[in-house]
Amino acid sequence: MKQIFRSKIFYLISFLIILGVALVFNNDEEPTEKLTDNEFFTNLADRKVTFIEAEQQKSVIEISGRLAGYEKDQYFVASVPNSETSLDRMNNAAEEHDIEKMEFTPYIEVSGWVTLFTTTLPFMIIFILFLVLLLFRVIIKR
């Protein structure tokens, strides 16, 4: 048992398992297509947009949606300026055209403490794992 912990292969396998778990949980899907704001409004006016999900940021509105002819796992992403004109254009187009669903998520500012905690948490976990491995090494030497 002591040779297993002394072996560098054990630490390599442990690192690869942790890396694999992190990659599995960080599986972000890339958008099918990125549109400019002009392309988005052109497609909106041409009745090609069937679904809109808008999320308000500080200075822009991040829009993801589905164009006509897209499959279920395909979508586009567009950034539109956060202004009354843009909102009016989207609302008017949604009322005039046949858009199945339109969701709008308002901007929620995240607390500084939450940001600090979420950015330091991975480093704290790595530090604790390093200490545990170091303690195992010290205990095994005895």
What CATH number is associated with residue 99? 3.30.720.210
Q: Are 139 and 129 members of one domain?
A: yes
**pLDDT in the model for residue 122:** 92
Q: Are 119 and 102 members of one domain?
A: no
Q: Are 6 and 58 members of one domain?
A: no
The string of DSSP letters for the chain reads: -HHHHHSHHHHHHHHHHHHHHHHHHT-PPPPSEEE-HHHHHHHHHTT-EEEEEEEE-SSEEEEEEEETT--TT--EEEEEE-SHHHHHHHHHHHHHTT-SEEEEEPP-PPPHHHHHHHHHHHHHHHHHHHHHHHHHHHHHH-
Per the structure, the complete domain to which residue 125 belongs is given by 1-28+110-142
Q: Are 36 and 103 members of one domain?
A: yes
Q: Are 39 and 105 members of one domain?
A: yes
Spatial separation of the C-alpha atoms in residues 118 and 39, rounded to whole Å: 36
Q: Are 61 and 83 members of one domain?
A: yes
Q: What is the average pLDDT across 109-128?
A: 90
**pLDDT in the model for residue 129:** 92
- Residue-wise pLDDT tens digits, 36-48: 888 888 887 787 7
Is 31's pLDDT higher than 60? no
Indicate the pTM of the whole model: 0.51
- Residue-wise pLDDT tens digits, 57-85: 878 888 888 777 777 767 788 888 888 88
Q: Are 96 and 139 members of one domain?
A: no
